[in-house]
Chain A
Amino acid sequence: MEAFLPIGILFLFAVMLCAGIYVLTNLLGPRIFQKNKLSTYECGVQNPLFETNARLPFKFRFYLVAVIFLLFDVEGAFFLPWALVYRESLQLGANLLIAMLVFSVFIILGLIYVFQNNYLNVD
Chain B
Amino acid sequence: MNSAAPLLAISQVSLAFGGVKALTDVNFKVSKGEVFSIIGPNGAGKTSMLNCISGRYRPNHGSITFKGKEMTSLKPNERSDLGIGRTFQNLALFGHMSVLDNIMVGRHHLLKNNFTTGPLYWVSGAQKEELKHRREVEDIIDFLEISHIRKKQAGTLSYGLRKRVELARAVALKPDLILLDEPMAGMNQEEKEDMARFILDLNEEWGMTVVMIEHDMGVVMGISNRVMVLDFGRKIAEGLPDEIMANEHVKKAYLGEEDELLVEEDAVEEIA
A binds B: no
